[in-house]
Every structure is written in C-alpha cells, then in structure tokens.
C-alpha cells in the first residue's frame, strides 16, 4: 500500500509503524525511524500581569489612605465633589475626583465611611522635552504621543483622546508608547479563592453558580517602563451576612459564620480562633458578590484605587520633577511628622472590599506633615486639568 510513497517522512513512517506493527499483515520494518524533538514554543512578549507587585512604589485608595515608598500611611480625605492631583511629573499626571461614601454603603468596621476616589484622568506624553518616558520603544519616535485617558467610575469604561488629533476619541491600544491590559476578578464559592482573568476571555469562560464576580476590575497602564494600576472596586448596600444563602457550599458557609462573628463583635476579636482581618475582608467581598449578582444597579457603589507599581528611574531621576498628593512621596519621601507611624504594606490598600485598618486613624486626616502645603493646594479646576495648581510639574518643559 505504500509502494512509491516517496513523500513519507521518517517521522510519518515511525508513527505509522507504531500504529500497525501489532498487525500480522504488517510487513514493513520502520522501527528504526524516529521523530525529531518538537521545537520549543516561541516566547511571547511579557504580558502586563495582574499579579500584585512585591514592593510597589506607592498606592492610594479606600478612605483614602496614601502609602509612599517608605510604607508609612497617611490620610487625605480631600473634598467631596472636587478633583485633586495625585501624581504630577513632566510626562505623567494623574487626577481623581473625590466622592463621598453614601451612608447606606458605609462599612465602619472596614474603614469605609468618608470619601473615596471616583473617576480618574491620566494624561501622558512629553512635548519638546528631554524626558525619555518612551525611550525603550522600538519605534523611531522616542517620545510618547500625548494622550488623555479617562476612567469612568460608573461604567468602568476607558476613553482615550489625543490633543494632537483634535481631542477625538481613539482606541487606547493604538497609542504609540502606551500598553493597556484589562482584567476582572472572579471567585469560587466552593474553595473560596479568587483569581484575575483577562476581560477579553470573559465571554468564553464557562461559569457555574459557584463562580461569582465581586465587581472588581483592574486596568494596567505601561508607559515606557513605568506601570500604573487602576483598580475599580465596589460596595453593595447593606452589610448583613445571610449565611443560609451559602448552605450548598460548606467552605463559603463556614467563612460566612466567621465573618458574621467579626461584624457582630465589639471590635476585632483578639482571642477568637477565627479569621485574620485580611481574610475577613477577602471573604466578605466574595460573599457579598454572590448576594449582589442579582442586585439592582442602584444598590452598588463603585470607587477606584491607584497603585504606582513601578517608575522608570531614568524618567523620574530628579525628585523635584515628581509631585502630587502621592507623587512627592514615591521617590524621596519627605520626613514624616513625629507621630504614630504604623507601617502598612501598600498591597493592603487593594484588598477587595477591605480598607486599611483603624490604626491609621491617629495620623493626620488631611496629610499635614506628609505633603507639602495643604490638601487645598492640590485641588484642580476640573478632572482633566493637570496644570492649574501650585505644584504642577506636567508639561513643564513644553514651549
């Protein structure tokens, strides 16, 4: 049957022999042929992983609590309804609205009672500047094209516009020098664990009733070698936990009883054989997500966190060119005032549905001593205005 079959490779002969040699009618001796080892898969470019950084440069979020490079937290409530600058440099600026937490969404035991970050606006790019924020790109243009990105707190949508293009809307993925990756959080009631998944895979994933989505999404922006992470979190109306809802999932029901014990105790139990505060925050988010999946939209409250995961030292080598409520503490933080300095890791700010614990409450409520001037000095006229405040560094070298 293989007479004149000269096109068969040695590998094909080996595979055919392996399949038919047990048959007594097989007369070919092809056992000496072999298949070459498979070629190693090509290595894709490193993705913007959603894994939390081991030592981010700084973060701000929740009520809101700021943590600089030294790991020491300070609090700036700002003023509800106004926009403030968080990071300001010649090539990068981040503004955020401050919104009040409505009473029905307040979680006193989790520290969410006052103000949080609403919509955010990020402006990137250098014009007539010697900064090298996009210098590692393969394109001939070593500077990042100027782009404004608005992150809407209600819809979670990202809107990019380019001033050089008449401020017309453009796809964020097409902006030279900017890399955007979006993820969403998904949890499993059967084993009480969570993981991040690309938004692009959301429709293709097969879900069961045990899988819930806490309403947390994450957008990672890479500008040159600098990485910003914007996490959109959510609160659901009412903090009562109904453990009978989880009777079909033993681990979820056990976690529910432990969370209920914490929420009903007068302060965090010190000698109970229960969960840590961090675990309570995580489990409460998972349990609330299950109850909230069928909840009306008006019973959900969204807010943002910001993590500056990495700053390219070449782009921000001069501390004088980095400012803002958070930015001035990302490289060479100012000396802190002589008061309690409870150290809390920046990752703790981003725990789903959990705020930094109340040990930070003895620090200044508006950042005095941790920031230059007062919090009023960082107020901007509008969310998209990055230049009109005393400490602005954005586009400083623009002619």
> What pLDDT is recorded for position 181?
92
- For 77, the 3-state DSSP assignment is coil
> What pLDDT is recorded for position 380?
96
> What pLDDT is recorded for position 28?
75
Sign of CA dihedral 102, 121, 93, 392: negative
First-to-last alpha carbon distance for the chain, in angstroms, is 80
The C-alpha atoms of residue 268 and residue 367 are separated, in whole angstroms, by: 27
pLDDT tens string, the chain, 399 residues long: the values are 666 666 667 666 656 666 666 677 777 776 666 555 444 333 333 455 565 444 567 899 988 889 888 888 888 999 999 999 999 988 889 999 999 999 888 877 667 788 999 999 999 876 433 333 333 333 333 455 678 999 999 999 999 998 777 778 888 888 877 889 999 888 888 888 888 889 887 766 666 778 887 778 999 998 877 899 999 988 877 656 678 888 888 888 888 887 777 766 544 444 444 556 667 767 777 777 776 665 666 778 899 999 998 876 655 667 778 899 999 888 766 666 655 444 444 444 444 333 334 344 445 568 888 888 899 999 999 999 999 999 999 876 553
- For 377, the 3-state DSSP assignment is helix
> What pLDDT is recorded for position 131?
37
Partner residues linked to 188 by β-bridges: 193, 211
> What pLDDT is recorded for position 382?
96
Percent above pLDDT 70 for the chain = 62
CB 289 within 8 A of CB 282: no
Smallest CA-to-CA distance from 64 within 385, 345, 367, 342 is with 367
CB 126 within 8 A of CB 315: no
- Residue 138 has phi, psi (to 5 degrees) of -80, -10
CB 286 within 8 A of CB 189: yes
The C-alpha atoms of residue 386 and residue 51 are separated, in whole angstroms, by: 30
> What pLDDT is recorded for position 60?
94
> What pLDDT is recorded for position 15?
63
The single-letter DSSP state of residue 368 is B
């Amino acid at each position: 049957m293989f007479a004149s079959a000269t096109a068969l490779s040695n590998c094909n002969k080996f595979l055919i022999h392996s399949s038919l040699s047990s048959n007594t009618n097989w007369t070919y001796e092809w056992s000496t042929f072999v298949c070459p080892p498979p070629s190693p898969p090509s290595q894709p470019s490193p993705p913007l992983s959603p894994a939390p950084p081991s030592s981010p440069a700084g973060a701000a979020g929740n009520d809101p609590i700021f943590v600089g490079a030294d790991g020491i937290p300070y609090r700036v409530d700002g003023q509800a309804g106004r926009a403030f600058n968080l990071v300001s440099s010649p090539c990068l600026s981040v503004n955020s609205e401050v919104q009040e937490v409505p009473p029905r969404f307040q979680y006193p035991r989790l520290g969410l009672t006052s103000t949080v970050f609403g919509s955010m606006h990020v402006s990137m790019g250098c014009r007539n500047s010697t900064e090298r924020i996009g210098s590692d790109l393969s394109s001939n243009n070593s500077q990042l094209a100027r782009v404004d990105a608005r992150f809407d707190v209600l819809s979670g949508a990202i809107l990019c516009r380019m001033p050089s293009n008449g401020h017309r809307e453009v796809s964020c993925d097409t902006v030279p020098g900017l890399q955007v990756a979006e993820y969403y959080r998904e949890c499993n009631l059967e084993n009480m664990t969570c993981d991040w998944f690309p938004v692009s895979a959301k429709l293709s994933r097969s879900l069961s009733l045990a899988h819930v989505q806490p309403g947390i999404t994450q957008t990672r922006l890479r500008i040159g070698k600098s990485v910003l992470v914007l996490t959109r979190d959510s609160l659901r109306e009412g903090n009562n936990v109904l453990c009978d809802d989880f009777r079909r999932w033993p681990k979820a029901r056990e976690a529910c009883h432990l969370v209920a014990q914490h929420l009903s105790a007068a302060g965090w139990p010190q000698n109970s054989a229960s969960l840590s505060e961090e675990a309570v925050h995580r489990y409460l988010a998972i349990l609330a997500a299950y109850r909230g999946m069928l909840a009306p939209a008006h019973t959900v409250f969204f807010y943002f966190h910001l993590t500056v995961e990495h700053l390219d030292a070449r782009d921000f080598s001069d501390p004088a060119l980095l400012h803002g409520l958070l930015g001035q503490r990302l490289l060479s933080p100012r000396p802190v005032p002589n008061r309690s300095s409870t150290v809390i890791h920046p990752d703790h700010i981003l725990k789903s549905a959990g705020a930094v614990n109340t040990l930070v409450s003895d620090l200044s409520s508006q950042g005095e001593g941790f920031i230059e001037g007062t919090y009023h000095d960082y107020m901007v006229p509008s969310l998209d205005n990055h230049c009109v405040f005393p400490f602005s560094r954005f586009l400083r070298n623009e002619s």
